[in-house]
Amino acid sequence: MIKMPFIVVALVCLLAACAGPQSDAKRDEFVRVDGSQFVLDGKSYRYAGANMWYGAYLGAPGELGDRARLIKELDLLQAKGINNLRVLAASEESELMRAVRPAIVKNKTGDLNQALLEGMDFLLAEMAKRDMKAVLYLNNFWQWSGGMSQYVAWFTGEPVLDPDVTGKWNPFMQNSARFYHMPEAQALYRDVIKKVVTRTNTITGVAYNQDPTIMSWQLANEPRPGSDADGRPFYSHFEKWIDETAGYIKSLAPQQLVSTGNEGAMGTLQDAELFEKSHASDNVDYLTFHMWIKNWSWFDAQNAEASYPSAWETAQDYMQQHMAIAERLNKPIVLEEFGVERDNGVFARNTSTEYRDRFYAQVFDFIELNAREGGPFAGSNFWAWGGFGETDREDYMWQPGDDFFGDPPQEAQGLNSVFSNDESTLRIIKDHAQALQAIE
């Protein structure tokens, strides 16, 4: 008679012990923030990542997508140690000349393209099989996916001030920045956010906001307060928008991280103090910054040998500046966009990448050194993965129906893309991924 209660008690204790670790393990599948570090499954999480904005497009069913290519892309990325992808999660139907078509958000009533959402379902399901994490951005300051200017046009009836037509960037940027303080645009934006963040994956049955494959929701791609020349009056709207929108996303997805997608000081009126101030919000879990040595006139691909040394010095200063901000805010930081053209600024496959390789290797060395020293540099996403994409267009400009590249539609296809046959670059990426994983 004494043995039965003992067995029952032992069984209850055993079940309780099993239940505890199972729930803990499930909780640990999500990337967390602990001070200036990412943590996954109780260990430091650092990553070598890529930008693959078109992932949901490849994942779409039928002729719209190319699931066979997507699987090939993911297999190759995994083989090279890439374990984090930054992906577009919302694009807007637009008359902007170079905007990608079709778009995820079909109109100002917030109707969504279900085929592209099914493409995201497929992408996330396949990434989960490969232990990859996703960073999903929900808007765009720039024109290539519709973005903020399209929201403004929907609710004002005014032109989008397309820079690919006018050649004028300051008016376009000022127009995009109106988005931050336009109530109708913000209401639609939040409706889109809610529909995407709370969506249930049709393949896995897991709600997006319960899916540990999604590391972070990102407010937008490269949100800026406005143009460098005239954007300062918009800064207060920008700062408030970051805090409140990040808070809204956290209310929908409390287990996942929130980031801004901002470029750093260069994307915040070239003012590091404003970048730091706008990212001090408790609703922003970690910092992002981008670095474009050619776009920002630090490097000239046509005069590479003469311009590269000073470009690299400036790049190091830029990285140091943002690491210092991360240390003050006690948050991790990620370089989530960086790249450079192929040698002499050509676009075609099978052309040399000497300066790109040098740049990638030096950036990776910088990250690894900071990681070994216990610093806040947690990872990177190079821009961008072109993979198996090909084009036969003489001008290299994308048209609907063409292969997707890492380069968005407003840029020459091949401008900054890393292709599947770029063996020297891929070797550098793989070595970096292995080096990061070896750091305890």
pLDDT tens track for 61-117? 999 999 999 999 999 999 999 999 999 999 999 999 999 999 999 999 999 999 999
Which whole number is the average pLDDT over 431-435? 98
Q: Is the pLDDT assigned to residue 21 strictly greater than 90? A: no
pLDDT value for 19: 43
Nearest to residue 149, comparing CAs of 93, 194, 89, 230? 93
- CA-CA distance, 139 to 180, in Å (whole number)? 12
Q: Strand 32-34 and strand 37-40: pairing? A: antiparallel
Q: What is the pLDDT of residues 208-263, one digit of tens each?
A: 999 999 999 999 999 999 999 999 999 999 999 999 999 999 999 999 999 999 99
| DSSP type of residue 318 | H
Which whole number is the average pLDDT over 5-27? 42
3-state helix, strand, coil in the chain (%, to 5): 45, 15, 40
Which whole number is the average pLDDT over 148-157? 98
pLDDT band for position 4 (cuts 50, 70, 90): very low
Which whole number is the average pLDDT over 32-55? 97
At residue 377, the 3 state secondary structure works out as strand
pLDDT band for position 28 (cuts 50, 70, 90): confident
- Looking at 6-10, 41-45, 200-204, which range is the least confident one? 6-10
CB atoms within 10 A of CB 271: 16
Name the token pair of 221.
């791609």
- CA-CA distance, 162 to 171, in Å (whole number)? 9
Contact 169, 120 (CB under 8 A): no
Beta bridge partners of residue 335, listed in sequence order: 289, 380
Whole-Å CA distances, 174 to 86, 228, 289: 26, 9, 21
End-to-end CA distance of the chain: 53
Nearest to residue 375, comparing CAs of 363, 366, 388? 366
Residue 336 φ then ψ, to 5°: -100, 5
pLDDT value for 17: 43
Which whole number is the average pLDDT over 426-434? 98
Q: What is the pLDDT of residues 190-218, one digit of tens each?
A: 999 999 999 999 999 999 999 999 999 99
Beta bridge partners of residue 334, listed in sequence order: 288, 379
Percentage of the chain exceeding pLDDT 70: 94
User: Residue 70: CA atoms inside 13 Å, Cβ hemisphere, count?
Assistant: 25
Which whole number is the average pLDDT over 23-49? 87
- CA-CA distance, 115 to 46, in Å (whole number)? 33
- CA-CA distance, 212 to 26, in Å (whole number)? 9
Name the token pair of 7.
């067995």
Name the token pair of 84.
């984090």
Q: Is the pLDDT assigned to residue 180 strictly greater than 80? A: yes
Residue 101 φ then ψ, to 5°: -135, 140
Say which amino acid occupies 206.
V
Which whole number is the average pLDDT over 388-400? 97
Contact 197, 217 (CB under 8 A): yes
pLDDT band for position 27 (cuts 50, 70, 90): low
Q: What is the pLDDT of residues 342-386, one digit of tens each?
A: 999 999 999 999 999 999 999 999 999 999 999 999 999 999 999
- CA-CA distance, 187 to 200, in Å (whole number)? 22
pLDDT value for 3: 40
Nearest to residue 84, comparing CAs of 56, 49, 46? 49
Which whole number is the average pLDDT over 3-8? 42
- CA-CA distance, 293 to 308, in Å (whole number)? 9
Q: Is the pLDDT assigned to residue 10 strictly greater than 80? A: no
Which whole number is the average pLDDT over 47-55? 98
CB atoms within 10 A of CB 212: 18
Q: Contacts for 419-426 with beta carbons within 8 Å, 24 or more apart? A: 419/349, 419/386, 419/387, 419/388, 419/389, 420/73, 420/76, 420/386, 420/387, 420/388, 421/349, 421/350, 422/353, 424/353, 424/357, 425/353, 425/356, 425/357, 425/360, 426/80
Average pLDDT, the chain: 94
Q: Is the pLDDT assigned to residue 1 strictly greater than 70? A: no
CB atoms within 10 A of CB 339: 24
pLDDT value for 440: 84
- CA-CA distance, 354 to 342, in Å (whole number)? 8
For the chain, the C-alpha Rg in angstroms (whole number) is: 22
pLDDT value for 178: 98
pLDDT value for 432: 98
pLDDT value for 15: 40
Which whole number is the average pLDDT over 18-36? 69
Helix axes 423-438, 354-372, angle to 10 degrees: 0
- CA-CA distance, 95 to 170, in Å (whole number)? 19
- CA-CA distance, 277 to 25, in Å (whole number)? 35
